[in-house]
Chains A and B, each alone.
Chain A
Amino acid sequence: MIEALLFQGLVGLSEAMYLWMVAAGLSLIFGVLRVLNFAHGSFYMLGAYLTLTALRAFGGNFWLALAALPGICVIAWGMERFFLRHVYHLEVAYQLLLTFAFVLIFDDLTRLVWGPVYQAPPTPRGLDRAVSVLGRPFPLYNLFILGVGVALGVGLWLLLERTRWGRLIRAAAMDREMASALGIRVPRLYTAVFVLGALLAGLGGALSLPIHAVSPGMGELIIIEAFIVVVVGGLGSLTGAFLSALLIGLLHAYGIVFLPVFEMALAFILMAVVLILRPWGLFGVREG
């Protein structure tokens, strides 16, 4: 019984990693730019599709295909530089509207370029098998994703806490005017943060390619969950995003076993409870 529960939890944690990769960028962008990016799920989708195209070009080598991911950076750069930049001073509604417009545009462009039918390339050789965990077969790919997610978390932490660039980001997140007065080129920093965030989501999409079916519209399936993660974790808090992604993963995994009738609503219930009791999130800092 205990073993079954642990196994179930491990499955939940491994699948939370996709959510974490999307939420990480979403949270980072919100923390610095103060924009909740509806189109962040689209970067997840585009990451998967760009990798898919490269996969075909490189004769099916998944690792080589990941080289297509910088394509996301170009798209994200264009979106920030020419559009998003003009709405930082506007109300939340207009920021959401602008990024929502990109959701629609990216969805239909994907349908135009890659067609309306979902795609599912094979799982990479070597990772397409199970290993024994707690006496039951567990996908090696899930362990791999778990490793990537944790490594990404550590890497982001080091980047923000231990590098000069990280300090600049934190300074800009704290106080834009102050950062600007200190000589930080804020617009360039904003672009960089947006591109980095998009790249993280794109990586998540690319890594989902081998075991999911990718399709136009897949971004909408994950973006609302990613919203929940960053809100529950505390808007702008990366640690919070990581821990709450894990929490949501566990909630799904155990909800499916113990409360299947409420499973659809569990994440939303969690978000509502957190917002009512601790609006700044489980791991966020109370403002003001």
Chain B
Amino acid sequence: MRRRDFLKAGLVGTASLLGAGALGPGEGGAAPAAKRLTKPIRIGGQAVMSGPLGGYGQFMRMGAQLAVEEINRAGGILGAKIEIEFRDEELKPDVAVRNARYFVDVWKADFLIGIDSSSVALAVGAIMPQLDRVLVVTHAATEKLNEQLVFKQGIRQVFRISVPVYQDGILSAMIARDFPVRTWATISPDYEYGHTSWKMFRETLKRFRPDVEFVAESFAKFGTVDFGPHISKVMAVRPEAIFSTEWGGEAVALVKQAKLFGVFQNTKAWMCGMGAAMDVLEGLGKDYPEGAWVSCRYWFQYPNTAENRRFVSRFRERWQKYPHYVSETSYSAVYALKGAVEKSGSIETAAVAKALEGMTLTTPAGKRHIRAEDHQAVYEVPWGRITHDRNYPFPILTDLRVVPADQYYRHPPFA
């Protein structure tokens, strides 16, 4: 594998390799643009790989690995090849912290990426000043990461390339304000993500639509497989629409069971912030009710740009799959690091962090602007409605609604 990559690189990027050899181990002196790195750049990734959510680790690795292969084929970053390794975060903060410490202190990682769970992101984020490496979070959505850790506590090493919970809680309400719906209920996960997004949704929607009422809520514990009692509790008060932030296999089980309970015939709208994730689309397949409103952190048909089309086709070529959103975020995380290293001409944490601050990148998901104040990447992800299209082996989105990210991201100082 590595040997073949090397040969390919030899064909494509002879010049840069020669350049690296010629410059030798010299440090500094040359202008950033001409600088060559001598050692491979190491990226340590972590994600859930085991248990019911284990698929997310696989999707994340696919994206990151594709980026690494592309970059290495094209000569690497300033002449240096990238090496990447992934570990299972197990959704446990102590395991993830140990992984991060192993990566930095033993494996000599230059950068860290990944992380699915919010508590893991907060725990690993908190030790980044000690480890002094840049961490780019690619999935965990807690707003505390950018609002508290980075903005309030001033941890400059932590960045997030993926959309935070604003997508599920605030943008959803801006879409929902046009619905002919007066009563809403939720079935959502019984953890911070579920509670926070429901709270944001209610507060935002109430501002636009004072006439709307929130009539029922049921929070399902982590690992719920039977949503029946939640569905029947909520449907007993006959809400006109359901809002949910269930994700992964739980979103699939919820939709299948809600369908059997006739929820989709008896309500006017169904909104699910993670309902457009590729695993949910593939998991539900033909069972996905037409017209459900869904979103995620990247939708492979948006935006319709050359970069995105190229990414999707390369991804499909490499993995025989359409990209999951965590595949895109991890892919873009690797390219963001590449951009920052090239811009600063260094792999030093402070320099790379500084280069990332305020950077605007062109990524498959569109232009991402990394806010300097809270290190949050600002970009747009659409909401859309489920439709079945014969050209795809899974349901896709139609009627895409996009709102400029500036209008729905919370802004520093997060009063």
Contacts and interface: CB of A to CB of B under 8 A. Distances in A.
Direct contact of A and B (CB under 8 A): yes
Interface of A: 4, 7-8, 11-12, 14-15, 18, 107-108, 111, 115-120, 122-123, 128-130, 136-142, 208, 211-213, 215-218, 220-222, 252-253, 256-257, 260, 263-264
Interface in B261-291: 261-262, 265-266, 279, 283-287
25 contacts: A7-B236, A8-B233, A11-B232, A15-B228, A15-B229, A18-B226, A118-B252, A120-B287, A122-B287, A128-B260, A139-B257, A212-B225, A212-B253, A213-B52, A213-B252, A213-B283, A215-B53, A217-B51, A221-B225, A222-B225, A253-B229, A256-B229, A256-B230, A260-B219, A263-B221
Given A118-B52, A211-B257, A215-B249, A221 B283 contact: no
A142 B260 contact: yes
Given A15-B228, A256-B229, A8 B260 contact: no
A150 B54 CA distance: 35
Contacts of A14: 228
A117 B232 contact: no
A14 B228 CA distance: 9
A213 B250 contact: yes
A221 B228 contact: no
A256 B248 contact: no
A19 B395 CA distance: 33
A150 B265 CA distance: 30
Contacts of A217: 50-52, 54
Contact of B249 (A18, A120, A257): A120
Given A14-B228, A111-B50, A138-B261, 6 more contacts: A117-B279, A217-B50, A221-B225, A252-B226, A253-B229, A253-B232
B55 A208 contact: no
A142 B218 CA distance: 20
Interface string B220-256: 0101011011111101100000000000111011001
A185 B20 CA distance: 76
B249 A118 contact: yes
B82 to A, nearest CB: 24
Contacts of A264: 190, 221
Top 3 nearest A-B pairs (CB, nearest first) are A137-B262, A117-B55, A213-B249
Nearest to B48: A116
Given A137-B266, A139-B260, A264-B221, A7 B232 contact: yes
A181 to B, nearest CB: 46
B229 A8 contact: yes
B283 A257 contact: no
B58 interface: yes
Nearest to A136: B235
Contacts of A142: 228, 260
B52 A216 contact: yes
B63 interface: no
B47 to A, nearest CB: 10
B188 to A, nearest CB: 12
Nearest to A222: B225
B260 A256 contact: no
B57 interface: yes
B139 to A, nearest CB: 15
A255 to B, nearest CB: 8
B49 interface: yes
B287 A123 contact: yes
